[in-house]
Each structure stands twice: as C-alpha cells, then as structure tokens.
C-alpha cells in the first residue's frame, strides 16, 4: 500500500526532473554556442569589440558636428545633440546588427547541426544574445559617461530597459524570419541588408515623434520600432522631452513577429543541407 501511495509523487518528480534536465542541457548548449561566437568575433581581433564603441560614437559626433556648424542644436533644452543622437542610434545599431547578421547564421553553423542536442533556434539565439549583450555593455558604459560628463543620468531605468528588451526581442523575431528567408532564397538574402538600412528613416531612431506633424506621427506610431525608441528616450530623458508610445501594442507585435519567425524557421528546416 505504501508503495502505491508513493508511486504518483515519484513519477511526478521524475517527470519534473527530466524537464529540468532538458532545460539545463539546452542552456549549456546555448552557453557553449555563445562562447564560440565570442571567440569567433572578438577572440582574435580586438578591433571588432572596439568598433562597437566607435561606430555609434563616430556617427553621433558627426551628426552633432554638422548640426552645430549649421546652427541646428537640439530641439530640447538640457539635452546635448551628441547625447540625443547617441541614445537614438545605439539601440538601432543593435537592431541592425542582429538582422544583418541573421542571414549568414545558419550557413556559418551548419556543421554544428549534426549534433542532436543543437537546434536551429539555439544557433540563432546564441548569435542574437551576443549582439544584445555587447550593445548593453556599450550602453552601460555610455550611460555612465553621459551621467558624469553631461550630468544627465537616466530618468527611468526600468522603462529604458523595457524599451531595449522589446527592441531586442523584436529584432530577434525579425532575425528568425531573415535567417529562414535567406535559407529559402538567395534573392531574399541579398535584399535584407539594403532593406535594413532603408528602414532607418522610418524607425524613429534619429527623429522624435514629438518633432513631427501630428498626422505623420500617427502613421509612425503604427511602427512598433518607433514606439520602442520612444520608450528608450522616455527612460533616458524623461520630462525633458514629450514621448509617445504604447507598450501593449508593441508587446503584441513582438509576440507576433517571434511566432512567425519560429514558424518560418521550422518550415525551412527540411530545405537545409547538412
């Protein structure tokens, strides 16, 4: 009687343990892939890591210089044009890096897929996580520098982080779609890079929605990415500038894009050659 009484809980514990072991295994797989990506990108050439800092700093410096020469300062008192540009472009830099690198992810790691423990999603997630972690590191350094140099600490860190995380998840979902499209069609792979660059004017990265005419602002608010950039500005600048965003709407599209990306990756799996 005692044996039958304990058989149920024992079975449940065994099932839970197997599930936990499965998660632990996949976590170790992603961790190993992440370390491999770090070694590939930064292990042999430190210039690649320095470029994460230099590119957004150079762009922000160039735009700030051009606007200063033309007598066009920031529209918002108390916000240096250099800091404004940096806060807008750095999240877009993450978005662009994730999607631009996504098409080559599967082909570059094809040999790893011979291992049954490694899934397509693991390979893509590891690369995207590296991009996000690298830019978060850069953002943290820049936030500290701006707080010290310009006496402009972030106004609302939770909102800032929510905006960055949503932008990462949105880019991750689009990256899944881009990787699947590149695996299915060479033409799609060639179109992804120019489309990413063409998206910059519509992303809201370098222009605040408050500075636009109301009708154009309403149109851009349909773009989830513009909402995310506004969240980042709200988190960083707060009351220094008006912002417009809808967290629920943005989260909805993040979920939709990721579901489509997962479905696309699953659909393209049989087409891959090992």
Which contiguous run of DSSP H or E holds residue 149? helix 120-149
Q: Which residue has the tokens 């449940």?
A: 12
- Look at residue 272 in the predicted model and tell me its pLDDT: 65
Which residues in the chain land under pLDDT 50? 1-8, 10-11
Write out the two tokens for 121. 């999603």
What is the CB-side half-sphere exposure of residue 38 using CA atoms within 13 A?
Answer: 11
Q: Which residue has the tokens 């998660």?
A: 23
- Look at residue 33 in the predicted model and tell me its pLDDT: 67
Write out the two tokens for 195. 């489309």
Residues 59-77: pLDDT tens digits? 767 776 776 666 555 677 7
Query: Cβ distance 116 to 110 under 8 Å?
Result: no
Query: Cβ distance 176 to 103 under 8 Å?
Result: no
Instruction: With CA atoms as reference, report the closest residue to 245 among 227, 233, 219, 222.
Output: 227
- Look at residue 65 in the predicted model and tell me its pLDDT: 73
What is the CB-side half-sphere exposure of residue 248 using CA atoms within 13 A?
Answer: 0
Report the alpha-carbon distance of residue 170 to residue 85 in Å, rounded.
21
| Residue 220 three-state SS | helix
Report the alpha-carbon distance of residue 251 to residue 173 in Å, rounded.
12
């Amino acid at each position: 009687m005692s044996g039958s009484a304990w058989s149920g809980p024992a079975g449940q514990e065994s099932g839970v343990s197997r599930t936990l072991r499965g998660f632990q295994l996949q976590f170790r797989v992603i961790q190993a892939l992440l370390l491999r990506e770090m070694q590939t990108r930064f292990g042999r050439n430190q210039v690649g890591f320095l470029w994460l800092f230099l590119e957004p700093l150079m762009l922000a410096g160039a735009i700030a210089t051009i606007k200063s020469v033309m007598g066009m300062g920031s529209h918002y008192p108390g916000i240096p044009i250099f800091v404004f540009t940096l806060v807008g472009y750095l999240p877009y830099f993450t978005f662009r890096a994730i999607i631009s690198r996504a098409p080559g992810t599967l082909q570059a790691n094809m040999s790893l897929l011979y291992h049954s423990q490694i899934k397509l999603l693991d390979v893509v997630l590891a690369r995207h996580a590296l991009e996000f972690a690298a830019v978060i590191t850069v953002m943290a350094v820049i936030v500290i520098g701006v707080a010290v140099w310009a006496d402009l600490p972030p106004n609302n860190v939770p909102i800032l982080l929510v905006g960055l995380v949503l932008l990462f998840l949105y880019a991750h979902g689009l990256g899944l779609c881009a990787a699947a499209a590149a695996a299915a069609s060479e033409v799609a792979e060639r179109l992804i890079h120019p489309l990413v660059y063409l998206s910059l004017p519509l992303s809201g990265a370098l222009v605040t929605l408050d500075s636009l005419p109301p009708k154009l602002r309403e149109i851009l608010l349909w773009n989830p990415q513009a909402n995310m950039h506004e969240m980042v500005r709200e988190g960083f600048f707060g009351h220094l500038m008006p912002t417009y965003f809808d967290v629920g709407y943005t989260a909805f599209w993040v979920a939709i894009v990721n579901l489509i990306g997962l479905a696309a990756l699953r659909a393209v799996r049989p087409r891959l050659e090992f």
